[in-house]
Structure 1
Amino acid sequence: MGENVGSERSRAAVVVLVPFPAQGHVTPMVHLAAALCCHGFRAVVALPESGGAANFSAIDRAMEETMLPSFEALLRTHNVAFVVSDMLASWAIAAADRCSVPVAGFWTGMLATYDFICSAPELIRRRLISSSGIPLAVGGVGSSTSSISEALPRLTTEDLPWLVGDLNSQMARFAFWQRAINRWAPLRWLIANTFSGDAGAAAATLRVFRVAPLEPAAAGGGASSFWEEDSSCLRWLDAHPPASVVYVSFGSWVPPIGGDLIAELAQGLETAGRPFLWVMADDWRSGLPLRFLERWSSSTSSLGKVVKWAPQMAVLRHGAVGCFLSHCGWNCTMEAIRCRTPLLCYPVAGDQLINCRYIAEAWKIGVRLESMRRGALEEGLSEVIGPAGDGLRRQLAGMSEEIFGEDGKETAAKELMAFVEDVRTAVDATEEEHLHLQLCSL
């Protein structure tokens, strides 16, 4: 696991960062590590030495069983100043607490999602969900636990992030979140990969630092993608008129949505008559219409192109892209806002449902796609591409400037500096306490 920290005290204080090993979690953690290095820390990112299947439960179990012993040994035998742990890697928070090492949590999404998850005990008390997390009532969960302000969307039990898969899977995910919530108790700081306008309350006992945008440039130009990017799609985009192409990507983590739905989407894209660029991993290709890949995997067709992975920021910045058909993962959402690309939303699971509500109902920078049927897809595309999407683009321009403009970057930098100053004070106090205990034992 990870890099050898060394047994001697480093000139720069060492921080160990523990991401959940999925692309959408590793990327912002790497950017945070680079930002902390700019503040004089030596950052070590702890990741498994080998990858496996993208199975949430299997990864969670493997991390705790395999990484925990070596991680705890590292904390006990090396001079680690503090730990930053992904909130999904809650085992690392508990380990740091046992080793008396200061620990900060890193939340990779909206604080609204964090608040919603933390409201689970209240939802159980109000008998809106069972003790296993399964909804007992249909409809709203109430503004006291789900709404941040009147201007933001009212979330319902349909948006609960653990309602993924069959009943057993849903209960297992709810148990995961309950265990995580209990392990979050020792946290003093919460670093959130979100912007100052995200008014999520979080816990009253936490100091919350909204540090987005974490600039990719801070990572020193090194790539953090798990997959090889196919840059041929950029040359393909060059041949298309401005704002004409539908970019389709469901990210790196979403499992296939089913052969029937994939077939409907493929047929809908072909018949819509708009050029499309579709990022499609191998496991998504089951159910495609006959010879679909033969038609669209080359660069010779002007109507469509299929690639396994794309340089997404470069694609979204390209003038030919007119909209982004997305699952609404948080990183994809932030990238679309940065590049001012309207979103056509098809959330699948987890925080994507909450993100979609904000995109379509609160921020009005996208439209929800209710189904993959041909008529629904064509209607959705007509709402985001062309003159009908002008309102979305105006909203995007304002939001992009608010978050990624100079004022937004300055606010994020101040938030990160406030965390750095606070954690340095805590680290100094911890070192003084350890020194005092050592002297007393002499």
Structure 2
Amino acid sequence: MAGNSRKPHAIMIPYPYQGHINPFVHLAIKLASKGFIITFVNTQSIHHQISKAQKNRGNENYDIFAKARQSGLDIRYATVHDGFPLSFDRSLNHDQFVEGLIHVFSAHIDELVGNLLNSESDSPPTCLIADTFYIWGSTIATKYKLVHVSFWTEPALVLTLYYHLDILRKNGHFASPDNRKDMIDYIPGVRAIEPSDLMSYLQADDIWTVVHRVIYKAFEDVKRADMIICNTIQELEPETISALHKKQPTYAIGPVFPAGFTKSSVATSLWSESDCTHWLNDKPAGSVLYVSFGSYAHTSKKDIVEIAHGLSLSGLSFIWVVRPDIVSSDETDFLPPGFEEQVKNRGLIVPWCRQIAVISHPAIGGFLSHCGWNSTLESIWCSVPLICYPLVTDQFTNRKLVVNDWKIGINLCDKESITREEVADKVKCLMNGYIMDGLRASINEVRKKLENALSAEGSSARNFDEFVENIQAQSRKKAGITANGHSSLVH
């Protein structure tokens, strides 16, 4: 047997959404830099979208990891069919698409993994790093005797709430005909949380949607993983991480950012990105509000109209990323009539942009955000306070961390529904108000924790090294190889 000389080889499979792909890509580069062989797997649809976005920028034959390979990293790339034609609108037909991910997608992954293991390679795969939301990670890893790593791309608080669904159910805070509304104070590693701060799926009346079924299966599967890695920081969620680690090996290795942060060598955007830099260069420091609701969530036309009027009333400069499908793929006319003309001297409206390049610009003073986890981490890194407008899933729980725990942002809406007057007031309050100094002081403190965690002796750096060692040890164990490189199998 090859013994210890065999390189660790990880198959990495992100969930097919922008917010999951980004940390997976940067983790792939980080692991490859540690000597791993990586086989990175995207769906054909995602690959097509990324390639199309790059083609619009003049890159005809875009290869995601070309620059990484040029620097000597062994990152291979594969695509698999997700069960739908490329022309199928996965956003408009969300539930049908997710049903396909449950019932069809795993067969394509199984075939890919089997082919990789049966190829004449000196370094066959030893490890499967799959997004926690996939329901089949442990099944495929067990079948092929691979180490199963579950990669959680959101905060540990969200992970542990899903992980303990059975306790929430038992105590009547979830899946009860009349859910309790009092404080939840019995989840291991969580001091207390209001039911209104739970993820949207745990507040829903209908608990048998396709996404609920994914959650139920995925969070049974994650308990069978060899280890869990989280895109979070030990110092920000110490009790939560510690409680999870007692259940099974759990490592906080975040934030999983590109090296250099603003100068990533990998473009992963699913849409063509507008360059906002020239526009920002003419604006005073801290004078521009950045507005974006992420790559996935939808909102109502009514709320978009109120936010537009609020931005207009505020009198402040802003960049607003308005995805064409932010309301729906089949409703693209949702801004108030004449709005763009009305704000043209101080507002820039784009369908998509390179977010890191925007929020790291000195002109940006605040971020009106949906509170997606990547956006939250990027805001912290750039010391940009937030106005929180959560729309779906983990965003409500992330808002709790931002506003209540870390005090680095404020709520957009404190009432039942959004009004233009409240939007204008909150925007002016964040950008010009007396609370800005307090928010900026808090976010600078939190940013320092992120910076320290990623330093050579920081918690995330140490956890990452321990995680890598654990993969190698588990790989030897599953292959029946002892630490000195000899086979422990009886022939």
Query: Shorter-chain TM-score category?
Result: 0.7 to 0.9
Q: Aligned partners of 1:12 and 1:357: how far apart in 2?
A: 42
**Cα shift readout 1:368-426 (whole Å, capped 9, x = no counterpart):** 11153122112212332135201100111111111124765632221111011111011
Note the C-alpha offset of 1:283: 2.0
Q: Return 5+ residue gaps in structure 2 as ranges.
A: 47-88, 118-123, 327-331
Match of 1:127 among 172, 193, 196: 172
TM-score by length of 1: 0.87
Separation (CA, whole Å) in 2 of partners of 1:303 and 1:393:
24
CA–CA separation in structure 1 for the residues paired with 2:252 and 2:190? 16
Instruction: Tell me by how many angstroms 1:165 deviates.
Output: 10
Q: Which amino acid aligns with 1:212?
A: G
- C-alpha change, 1:438 and 1:70, in structure 2 (3 Å) is farther
Greater shift, 405-414 or 181-190, is seen at 405-414
In the TM superposition, what are the counterparts of 1:35-434 in structure 2 within 5 Å?
35-51=30-46, 52-54=89-91, 57-77=95-115, 78=117, 79-130=124-175, 136-140=179-183, 142-145=184-187, 148-149=190-191, 154-163=192-201, 167-168=205-206, 171-197=209-235, 198-199=237-238, 200=240, 201-202=243-244, 204-217=246-259, 221-231=265-275, 233-255=276-298, 257-284=299-326, 285-295=332-342, 301-370=344-413, 371-388=417-434, 389-405=436-452, 408=455, 410-432=458-480
Distance 1:240 1:35, change over 3 A: same
SS in 1 for 2:182: coil
- Preserved CA contact (<8 Å) 2:366 2:431: yes
CA distance in 2, matches of 1:381, 1:426: 51
1:384 alignment partner AA: L
- The letter of the residue matching 2:159 is Y
Report the AA paired with residue 216 of structure 1. P
C-alpha contact (below 8 Å) 2:98/2:210 kept by paired residues = no
Residue 15 of structure 2 aligns to which amino acid in structure 1? F
**Root mean square deviation, CA, Å:** 2.6
1:33 maps to what in 2?
Answer: 28
Unaligned ranges ≥5, structure 1: 1-8
Shift in Å, 1:59: 3.7
The structure-2 alpha-carbon separation of the partners of 1:220 and 1:362, relative to structure 1 and needing over 3 Å to count, comes to closer
- For 1:101, give the aligned amino acid: L
Q: Structure 1 residue 315: deviation in Å?
A: 0.8
Work out the CA distance in 1 between the residues paired with 2:43 and 2:283: 42
CA offset at residue 44 of structure 1? 1.2
How far has the Cα of 1:114 moved from its partner?
A: 0.8
Q: Distance in 2 between matches of 1:53 and 1:118?
A: 27
Q: Distance in 1 between matches of 2:429 and 2:455?
A: 29
Q: Distance in 1 between matches of 2:375 and 2:211?
A: 23
CA distance in 2, matches of 1:402, 1:245: 26
Instruction: Give 1:69 deviation, angstroms.
Output: 1.8
In structure 1, C-alpha distance between the alignment counterparts of 2:204 and 2:169, rounded to whole Å: 20
- Deviation of residue 287 (structure 1)? 2.5
Cα separation, 1, equivalents of 2:110 and 2:322: 39
Deviation at 1:437, TM superposition (A): 9.1
Please give the per-residue CA displacement for 1:1-38, whole angstroms capped at 9, x wherever unaligned.
xxxxxxxx996332101110100000001111111101
Q: Aligned residues: percent identity?
A: 26
Alpha-carbon distance, 1:173 to partner: 2.9
How far did residue 129 of structure 1 move?
2.2
Give me the whole-angstrom Cα distance separating, in 1, the residues matched to 2:180 and 2:264. Answer: 50
In the alignment, the residues of structure 2 paired with residue 181 and residue 372 of structure 1 have an alpha-carbon distance, to the nearest angstrom, of 34
Answer with 109-118 or 214-223: which moved more. 214-223
* Change over 3 Å in CA distance of 1:160–1:146 after alignment to 2: farther
State the alpha-carbon separation in 1 of the partners of residues 38 and 454 from structure 2. 27
Is the 8 Å Cα contact of residues 90 and 180 (structure 1) preserved in structure 2? yes
What SS does the aligned partner of 1:44 have? strand
Q: Could you tell me how far apart the structure 2 residues matched to 1:295 and 1:57 are?
A: 38
- Give, as a single letter, the amino acid of the residue that structure 1 aligns with 2:350: V
Match for residue 19 of structure 2? 24
Partner of 1:14: 9
Q: Deviations over 1:248-303 (max 9, x none)?
A: 00000111x1111111111111111111110011123433111224555xxxx331
Shift in Å, 1:94: 2.4
Query: In structure 2, do the counterparts of structure 1 residues 431 and 166 end up closer, same or farther at CA, with 3 Å as the change threshold?
Result: closer
2:233 and 2:292 mapped to 1: Cα distance?
24
Distance in 2, Cα, partners of 1:165 & 1:58? 22
8 A contact 2:201–2:393 mirrored in 1: yes
TM-score (norm 2): 0.79
SS at match of 2:101: helix
Corresponding letter in the other structure for 1:268: G
Contact 1:97/1:186 (8 A) holds in 2: no
- Are 1:34 and 1:220, in contact at CA under 8 Å, matched by a contact in 2? no
Distance 1:433 1:61, change over 3 A: farther
Residues 60 and 89, structure 1, Cα contact 8 Å, conserved in 2: no
